[in-house]
Amino acid sequence: MTSPALRVDAAGERLRLLHVHAHPDDESSKGAATTARYVAEGVDVVVATCTGGERGSILNPAMDRPDVLANIASIRREEMDRARAILGITQVWLGWVDSGLPEGDPLPPLPEGCFGLMAVDEAALPLVRLIREFRPHVLTTYDENGGYPHPDHIMCHKISVAAAATAADPAAHPELGPAWQVQKLYYQLSFNRQRIEALDQAMTARGLESPYAERLADWKPDPDHDARLTTKVPCAEYFATRDKALLAHATQVDPEGSWFSVPLEVHRQAWPTEDWQLVRSEVPTELPEDDLFAGIAVPVGAAGAAVPAGTVQG
């Protein structure tokens, strides 16, 4: 593990990382081991949660009760508090209302006033203020498809990209604080085919039933998407912390469900990283990376293609 004393920028300031997520539980299911690693290394990590998850379904049969459903908003906040403590992060609610996941053919309209229907510039303003106050070196969010096409995940992507640009513009909304340029922007990329194939093969090699066989059978290879994976952060020793944080979201996660069908040791051995796409860097770096702060605090040691400052990947 890198000493916390080394996790500073060139000016000697503590490194700062901002994750932007759509709902409570996303911070634990997407990149949580990376988060836990950086917290352990002394990085200041903040999670911005766009909505309260008010329209989320109860996905754990043990929690599917009328009293839970009637109080889902407050319960999900309590779950977030527990996950926050486990991960050692600061967490901020941006205050928007969950859109729910529309189902049916044709899809029903989104509910009035929800996050997914907001104007991007308006929805981005609380995040602009947070970026200028916290001054993150690195910001992570979802890709343009939201990681999966939930309207809140897609809107989370939109406001993250918009807020990062607006926060850097001193002429834009000066009432929200002094301008701040995020040095690196990443998309979270956990659900990539290479990782799923590695886990599937590891399960099969051990004579265990893989939960991924059906998914892989329907998942057509996409070299362009595979090429998005630029940054693999080693964090296997923090997978247990990730799982503990995920289980804190008891309404959303079934301990007997698919999330935990692959043993922890298989995860650690078959794919010991969490994966990201570098989208924009204001500092020189090289690909592939093994650190979100490459080029900011930690000398780049891996060979790869140089990425000039300001380059957009993908």
Binding residues for Zn(2+): 23, 26, 153
Task: Sheet containing 184-188: give its strands across.
Answer: 90-96, 44-51, 16-21, 138-141, 184-188, 273-281, 231-234
Q: Are 17 and 134 in contact (CB under 8 A)?
A: no
Give me 200's structure tokens: 């599937």
Q: How far apart are CA 16 and CA 165, in angstroms?
A: 18
Rounded to a whole number of angstroms, the CA Rg of the chain reads 19
Q: How far apart are CA 129 and CA 176, in angstroms?
A: 5
3-state secondary structure 200-229: HHHHHHCCCCCCCHHHHHCCCCCHHHHCCC
Cα maximum dimension of the chain: 61
Terminal alpha carbon distance of the chain: 31
- Residue ranges of the annotated binding site are 23, 26, 153
Q: How far apart are CA 91 and CA 25, in angstroms?
A: 12
Around Cβ 146, how many Cβ atoms within 10 Å? 18
